[in-house]
A and B are shown apart, each in its own frame.
Chain A
Amino acid sequence: MATATVERVLGKSIKRREDPRFITGRGTYVDDVKLPGATYAAFVRSPHAHARIRKIDTTAARTHPGVVAVFTGSDMTGVNSLPCGWDLRKAKNIPGVVQDLAMVPHMPLTADAARHVGDPVAVVIAESHEAAVDAAEKVKVDWEVLKAITSTDRAAAAASPQLHAGAPGNVAFKWEIGDAAATDAAFRNAAVTVKKRIVNQRLVANAMEPRACAARYDEANGELTLWVTSQNPHVHRLLMCAFVLGIPEHKVRVIAPDVGGGFGSKVFLYNEEVVCSWAARALKRPVRWTASRREAYVTDAHGRDHVTDAELALDRDGKMLGLRVKTTANLGAYLSTFAPAIPTFLYGTLLNGVYAIGAIHCQVTGVFSNTTAVDAYRGAGRPEAAYVLERMVEAGARAIGMDTAELRRRNFIPRFSGAFQTLVAVAYDSGDYAGAFDKLLQIFDYRKFRAEQDAARKEGRLLGVGFSAYIEACSIAPSKLVGALGAGAGLYESGKVRVHPTGMVTVYTGSHSHGQGHETTFAQLVADELGIPIEQVEIVHGDTGQIPFGMGTYGSRSASVGGTAILMSLNKIKEKGKKIAAHLMEASPGDIEYANGQFQVRGAPGKAVPFGAVSLTAYVPHNFPEGLEPGLEETSFYDPSNFCFPFGAHACVVEVDRDTGRVTILRYVAVDDVGNVMNPMIVDGMVHGGIAQGVGQALCEGAVYDEASGQLMTGTMMDYALPKADMLPMYETDRTVTPTPVNPLGVKGAGETGTIAATPAVVNAVVDALAPLGIDHIETMPLSAERVWSAIQNAKR
C-alpha cells in the first residue's frame, strides 16, 4: 500500500499561495468589508500641539443632515485609559536597571487637554462618510492654546511646558543597564576615546494601507465583531475588553483580514478602534472608520527618535575596551502599547552587538513631548542600537587610523553555539559573525573597491563604502523573561492543526500575516512534516473566532515561535495517528513510524496505512483503539526558551555629488544569517524591503515638527519622503546559515534584519565618501542632498 513520495517543499522558493487574490484585486482589506446599515465615523482632532479644552459645542454638528450621533470624551463614561502593556517598574532581577515609569492616562477621546496635533477630542457618526466629515467641521472646540515642546533634547528641560501632572519634568522613565564602574575604568585605561552625538530621527511607518476599523454589534446575542488593521487580533481584543471598555472578551470577535503592511504600527491598540467599538454598542449600528493618510501621519505610532551621546574606548590595536551610551528617547505625548520596552529592553540589551567589548554602560531617559506617540517601528530599538554601535566603530577606526573592516574583524565575538553571555543581560544563541563578514568582503571584493575608490578620488569623485555588522534579537520572546522585564503579556504563540476526515488539513495560527506570506511558508512546513501535497493544507490566521489565543506578528517571531507551535501540534497528530495505525495493522504503536505520508511498521516495508485512512478512521472510529478519543485535532502553545539572534553584514557603495550633495547608491550587498530558511524567495523579499526602509531612514525619511507651533511639517506623502524605485539599486543578497539551537526548526527570524543593517551601512558609506573633505561625522539623518551639501560647505570653511 505504498504511496508516491510527495516532493518536499520546505526550504524551497515556491510561489506564494496568497498572491492570486492580490494580483486580481480580490484581497479583502478592512475598508473592503461591506456592512449593511453601516455608519461612518469622523474624528474631531486637535489642530494644536498643546491646548486645554475649555468647552466643546456639538450643537451644530448634531443637527447636520445625516448625523446619527456626536460623542466627546465626557460622553464615554465608564471607559478607561488605553493601557500601556510594559511596566518598567515591574522589571526584576536585572542588574543595574533603575525602576521608574510614569504611567500617564491616555483616554480614547481626550476631555481635559490635547497633547499633540491630531489628538482626538470628539467623534461624529453619520449615515455617510461625507456627512460625518462635514459635520465634524461644525464641532466647535474652545481651546486655550498652551506652549508646546516637540524637541527630544529639550523635552525634559526645566523651562519646557509640562504635559502630564503625573510626569514631572516630562520624564517618563530613567533606565540603565551595564556596569558604570567597569566602563569608567575602561575609559581611564584607553589609548583612544571617541565621542559622538548621534541622532536617530523620528520615522513614520507608512504601511501602504492606512489604519481602519469596522465594528458591528449584534444585539440578539450581545456579540461585537471588530474588523481592524491589526498585527495581533487577540492582543487588540484583550486590551480593549479587559482594560478599556470592560466588556466580556468571549463576546468580542476581532478579525484582522488582509492587512496592507504593518511594520509595527498596527501592533498597538488605538483610540479610533476603541471609540468605534464603543459607539457600535451604544448605537447598535455598525460603525466604520478608515484613516486618511493625513490622519495616519498624526496618529499612527511613530518610530525611533533618539538623541544619543556615545563614547567608545579603544586600545592601540583597535580592541574595543568600553562603550558608554546616554540616550534620550522621545515617547511622544502618551505611552503607546509597548512604548517603554523599545528604547530599553530592545535597545540597551543590543549594545554588545557582534563585538567582544570590555565594558558597557547605557543610560536611557524616556521623555514626553507634544508629538505623536512613539512605539515599535520595524526593528524597534535594535536599529537604534546597531546605528550607535556601527557609527562608533567607524569613528573609532578613523580615530586610530585603522581600516574599518579590519577593526571589526579584530573585535568579533568568536564563533559559538549554545550561549554567549553579553554584558547587557541577554545571551546570544549561536553566531559566526566573522563568517558572515568575511563572506561579505569576498562577494563585495573589498580590495578591488578600495583601488577603484583611490582612482575615483584622484579624479575628484567622492566614492565611499560603508559596512555594518549587526545583531538583532527576535523570535520574541520567553514569557518568563519578558515578564521579569515588565511585560504585561506572555509572548508564546499558538498553533492548532485540524485534520479533516478526508485528510485535508486546516492550520490555525496565532501569528498574523500582513505581507509575510504565512499562508505559503506555514503550508510548506505542514506539507513536508505530513508528507502530503501542499494543496491539502490551508492556513487560517487573523480571526479570534477561529484561532486559539495567540500573540500575533512582530519582532520577527512568526516562523520561529508560531512555526514551532504548529510543529508541536503536527507531532501530536503523528503520535495519535501512530496509535490509530497500530490498531489498524495490529502492531504496537512503538513500532510505527511516519514517513512519506503514511504510517508504517518499522522494518516491514509494505505494511503501512496512509495518512488519509488514519484521518478517516479518527472520525469514523468503528475499529479504534480502546480508550482513545476520536477526532484528529491538536493545539499547542510554544513558549521559546530564549530570543533568537540573527546577524549579518551589509556593504553599501555610494557616490556623493560634491556640487549638490546628492547621494547615489551604486551597489548594495547583504549577507544575512537568519538560521534555517523556510522559503528563500520570501526571506530575500523581506531583506529587500528592510534594506529599502533602512536606506529611507539614512537618505530621505524623517518626521519633522515645527518647534514653535508643534505642527507636523511632514504630514502627507508629499512632505514625508518615502523611498522610491528610482533611488534604489538592485540588491545583492546572500546568506550564511547558522541554525539556532533555541527551536527545533532552527529558524531565527528575517523580518527586520535589512532595516537594522542598512541605515548604518549607508551613512557610513556617505561619511567614507566625504572623508577626503575632512568630514568624519554627520550628526543627524536623513542625509538629504541639502544636509550633505551643508556638511561639504562647512568643511570648506
Chain B
Amino acid sequence: MKLPVKTTINGQTHSHEVEPRLLLVHYIRETVGLTGTHVGCDTSQCGACTILMDGQAVKACTLFAVQADGATITTIEGLAKNGELHPIQMGFWEKHGLQCGFCTPGMIMTACQMLERYPNPTEEQIRHQLEGNLCRCTGYHNIVKAIQWAAEQMAAGKK
C-alpha cells in the first residue's frame, strides 16, 4: 500500500506515492534526491538529519514521510538565497565550525531555529540548544563560535 505525500521543499512542490513506513529523511534523500540532509544514527541522537519543517527544526528521521504531507520544508540546500550564503553558513565557514562536514547541515539547521528563539544567545544557551546534535570532529568549540558570529551578523543586519 502506498500513500500520497505532497510537500514544498526549498520552494519547490513535490508529489509522490510512498510506503507509509518511509522515513521523512529517506524521502528527502532518496525520493526527492536532496542528499545534503544526512543520516548519522538510527535513534534520533545525532541530529545530522535536522531540517526546518513549517519553521520548526525537526529531525527528519523521527517522522514518517506521510506525516510531512502538506508541509513546507527547508533543507540545507535551500538555505542560501540567490547564491548568497545565510549568515549561519558564513559563520561556520568563517570560524572553522566544521571538519568532515557530515554533521554540519544538521548543526546549521538547528542553529537557524536557535537564533530565532535566542537572537543574542549566551554560550551556555548555545551549548544547551546543541544538545540534540553530535559532532565528533570539532569538540564544539568552533561551532559555538560560528553561531555567536552569525548571531552578531544577523543582529547587525537588522539594525
A residues near B, CB below 8 A? 15-16, 18-29, 31-32, 34, 130, 206-210, 258-261, 263, 290, 292-294, 514-517, 681-682, 684-686, 688-693, 716-718, 722-726, 728, 730-731, 754
CB-CB contacts of B132-149 with A at 8 A, as 1s and 0s?
A: 011111111111100000
Chain A residues contacting B128 (CB-CB under 8 Å) are 725-726
7 A/B residue pairs, CB under 8 Å, sorted by A:
A23-B85, A23-B98, A24-B85, A515-B99, A725-B144, A726-B128, A728-B141
CB-CB contacts of B89-113 with A at 8 A, as 1s and 0s?
A: 1001110101111111100100000
CB < 8 Å neighbour of A209 from B34, B38, B80, B94: B38
Given A718-B45, A724-B134, answer yes or no on A688-B40 (Cβ-Cβ < 8 Å): no
Question: What residue in chain B is nearest A210 (Cβ atoms)?
Answer: B40
- CB of A20 to closest CB in B, whole Å: 7
Given A23-B104, A208-B102, A515-B101, answer yes or no on A681-B34 (Cβ-Cβ < 8 Å): no
Question: What residue in chain B is nearest A730 (Cβ atoms)?
Answer: B141
A675 to B41: give the CA distance in the assembly, Å.
Answer: 37
Chain A residues contacting B94 (CB-CB under 8 Å) are 15
- CB of A601 to closest CB in B, whole Å: 42
Question: What residue in chain B is nearest A718 (Cβ atoms)?
Answer: B43
A722 to B75: give the CA distance in the assembly, Å.
Answer: 26
Cβ–Cβ contact B46 & A208, under 8 A: yes
Given A19-B98, A29-B38, A725-B126, answer yes or no on A293-B48 (Cβ-Cβ < 8 Å): no
Cβ–Cβ contact B92 & A23, under 8 A: yes
Question: What residue in chain B is nearest A262 (Cβ atoms)?
Answer: B100
A692 to B46: give the CA distance in the assembly, Å.
Answer: 16
B115 interface hit (Cβ, 8 Å): no
A259 to B135: give the CA distance in the assembly, Å.
Answer: 14
A258 to B38: give the CA distance in the assembly, Å.
Answer: 13
A685 to B85: give the CA distance in the assembly, Å.
Answer: 23
Question: What residue in chain A is nearest B142 (Cβ atoms)?
Answer: A685
Q: Which of A207, A208, A258, A722 has the most CB of B within 10 A?
A: A208
Cβ–Cβ contact B137 & A689, under 8 A: yes
- CB of A376 to closest CB in B, whole Å: 16
Question: What residue in chain B is nearest A27 (Cβ atoms)?
Answer: B101
Chain B residues contacting A27 (CB-CB under 8 Å) are 36, 101-102
CB < 8 Å neighbour of B134 from A517, A689, A722: A722
Cβ–Cβ contact B43 & A23, under 8 A: no
B16 interface hit (Cβ, 8 Å): no
Question: What residue in chain A is nearest B78 (Cβ atoms)?
Answer: A25
Chain B residues contacting A716 (CB-CB under 8 Å) are 41-43, 45
Cβ–Cβ contact B77 & A26, under 8 A: yes
- CB of A206 to closest CB in B, whole Å: 6
Cβ–Cβ contact A208 & B131, under 8 A: no
B39 interface hit (Cβ, 8 Å): yes
Chain A residues contacting B105 (CB-CB under 8 Å) are 25
Q: Which of A294, A514, A684, A725 has the most CB of B within 10 A?
A: A725
- CB of A412 to closest CB in B, whole Å: 28
A18 to B89: give the CA distance in the assembly, Å.
Answer: 13
**8 Å CB interface, B50-75 against A:** 75
Cβ–Cβ contact A731 & B141, under 8 A: yes
CB < 8 Å neighbour of A208 from B19, B43, B136: B136
CB-CB contacts of B17-57 with A at 8 A, as 1s and 0s?
A: 00101000000010001111111111101101000000000
Chain B residues contacting A19 (CB-CB under 8 Å) are 92-93, 98, 101
For the side of the interface on B, what is the size category? Answer: 35 or more
B123 interface hit (Cβ, 8 Å): yes
Cβ–Cβ contact A261 & B42, under 8 A: no
Chain B residues contacting A209 (CB-CB under 8 Å) are 38, 40, 100, 102
B127 interface hit (Cβ, 8 Å): yes
Chain A residues contacting B99 (CB-CB under 8 Å) are 261, 515-517, 685-686, 689
Q: Which of B92, B98, B124 has the most CB of A within 10 A?
A: B98
B79 interface hit (Cβ, 8 Å): yes
A664 to B142: give the CA distance in the assembly, Å.
Answer: 20
Given A16-B93, A27-B101, A515-B137, answer yes or no on A293-B42 (Cβ-Cβ < 8 Å): yes
- CB of A108 to closest CB in B, whole Å: 24
B151 interface hit (Cβ, 8 Å): no
- CB of B151 to closest CB in A, whole Å: 15
Chain B residues contacting A18 (CB-CB under 8 Å) are 101
A517 to B36: give the CA distance in the assembly, Å.
Answer: 19
A26 to B79: give the CA distance in the assembly, Å.
Answer: 12
Cβ–Cβ contact B39 & A24, under 8 A: no
Cβ–Cβ contact A682 & B96, under 8 A: yes
Cβ–Cβ contact B40 & A25, under 8 A: no
Given A32-B35, A724-B131, answer yes or no on A259-B108 (Cβ-Cβ < 8 Å): no
B130 interface hit (Cβ, 8 Å): yes
A730 to B148: give the CA distance in the assembly, Å.
Answer: 13
Chain A residues contacting B79 (CB-CB under 8 Å) are 24
Chain B residues contacting A690 (CB-CB under 8 Å) are 139
Chain A residues contacting B29 (CB-CB under 8 Å) are 31-32
CB < 8 Å neighbour of B76 from A25, A31, A686: A25
Question: What residue in chain B is nearest A19 (Cβ atoms)?
Answer: B93
Given A16-B96, A258-B101, answer yes or no on A208-B134 (Cβ-Cβ < 8 Å): yes
Cβ–Cβ contact A691 & B139, under 8 A: yes
Chain B residues contacting A208 (CB-CB under 8 Å) are 38, 40, 46, 48, 100, 102-103, 134-137
CB < 8 Å neighbour of B46 from A681, A691, A717, A723: A717
- CB of B81 to closest CB in A, whole Å: 12
Cβ–Cβ contact A23 & B136, under 8 A: no
CB < 8 Å neighbour of B136 from A207, A293, A516: A207
A514 to B37: give the CA distance in the assembly, Å.
Answer: 18
A260 to B39: give the CA distance in the assembly, Å.
Answer: 11
Given A18-B101, A25-B34, A210-B40, answer yes or no on A688-B108 (Cβ-Cβ < 8 Å): no
Beyond the given pairs A515-B101, A724-B131, A725-B128, 8 more chain A to chain B contacts, judged by CB atoms under 8 angstroms and listed by A's residue number, are A25-B34, A209-B40, A261-B136, A293-B40, A681-B96, A692-B138, A730-B123, A731-B139
A516 to B85: give the CA distance in the assembly, Å.
Answer: 23
- Which 3 A-B pairs rank lowest in CB-CB distance, beginning with the nearest? A25-B36, A260-B102, A22-B101
A210 to B136: give the CA distance in the assembly, Å.
Answer: 12
A725 to B103: give the CA distance in the assembly, Å.
Answer: 13
Q: Which of B21, B94, B100, B133 has the most CB of A within 10 A?
A: B100
CB < 8 Å neighbour of A693 from B19, B89, B136: B136
- CB of B92 to closest CB in A, whole Å: 5
A464 to B123: give the CA distance in the assembly, Å.
Answer: 24
- CB of A356 to closest CB in B, whole Å: 33
- CB of A92 to closest CB in B, whole Å: 38
A662 to B80: give the CA distance in the assembly, Å.
Answer: 42
CB < 8 Å neighbour of A689 from B37, B38, B139: B139
A686 to B102: give the CA distance in the assembly, Å.
Answer: 16
A692 to B127: give the CA distance in the assembly, Å.
Answer: 14
Chain B residues contacting A718 (CB-CB under 8 Å) are 43, 45
Question: What residue in chain B is nearest A726 (Cβ atoms)?
Answer: B127
Cβ–Cβ contact A261 & B96, under 8 A: no
